[in-house]
Amino acid sequence: MKSFFTMAEEVQRKMQMELDKYKQIQKEYQRAVSIRQQLDGQLSENTFVKDELDMLKPGAEVFKLIGPVLLKQSLEEAKQTVLKRMEFIKGELKRQEDLLQDLDKKQDAHRETLNKLQQQFQHMQVKAAMKA
């Protein structure tokens, strides 16, 4: 039969491993939140550009900035480019939301495991105190 100290060390080691995994998932979660915020900003910018383009009359001159140069672009081409960009951003937002939901579930699972290990450790301490 294992001694109290051996079992206690084992539980503490498991708790530390679980805590390390939990912290890593928290970092991933924060990174995903940051990416989602960037994507939200990009979507807002592109929505604003789309609204501005929608206000223009057909045949209006539109220019695209490429490096230090402004190149003439058709209004329809500009609208299509913005719409494609918005669709891409929406797809990335969906992917980030799915990732965040998955990370939420993982965080919950690690929290639950940590709680169980902590209770197990406390129970072991009570038993040891009663024997002493």
Three-class SS state of 66: strand
91-97 CB contacts, 8 Å cutoff, 24+ apart: 92/39, 93/36, 93/39, 93/40, 93/43, 96/32, 96/35, 96/36, 96/39, 97/36
For residues 59 and 24, which has the higher predicted lDDT (pLDDT)? 24
Three-class SS state of 48: helix
Q: In this structure, is residue 19 part of a structural domain? A: yes
The pLDDT confidence band at residue 8, using thresholds 50, 70 and 90, is confident
Structural domains in the chain (count): 1
Q: In this structure, is residue 65 part of a structural domain? A: no
| Backbone φ, ψ for residue 73 (5° rounding) | -140, 145
Q: In this structure, is residue 34 part of a structural domain? A: yes
Helices (H), the chain: 4-55, 75-131
Assess contact for 82 and 46: CB atoms under 8 A: yes
**What domain range is 106 assigned to?**
4-51+83-131
Q: In this structure, is residue 121 part of a structural domain? A: yes
In the chain, pLDDT over 70 holds for what percent of residues?
Answer: 97
The pLDDT confidence band at residue 6, using thresholds 50, 70 and 90, is confident
Q: In this structure, is residue 72 part of a structural domain? A: no
Q: In this structure, is residue 42 part of a structural domain? A: yes
Q: What is the per-residue pLDDT across 38-95, written as a single tens digit (0 to 9) for each?
A: 999 999 999 999 999 999 999 899 999 999 999 999 999 999 999 999 999 999 999 9
Q: In this structure, is residue 62 part of a structural domain? A: no
CB count, 10 Å around CB of 18?
20
Assess contact for 103 and 30: CB atoms under 8 A: no
- The pLDDT assigned to 36 comes to 97
Assess contact for 21 and 110: CB atoms under 8 A: yes
Q: In this structure, is residue 71 part of a structural domain? A: no
Task: List CB contacts of 56: < 8 A, sequence separation 6 or more.
Answer: 62, 75
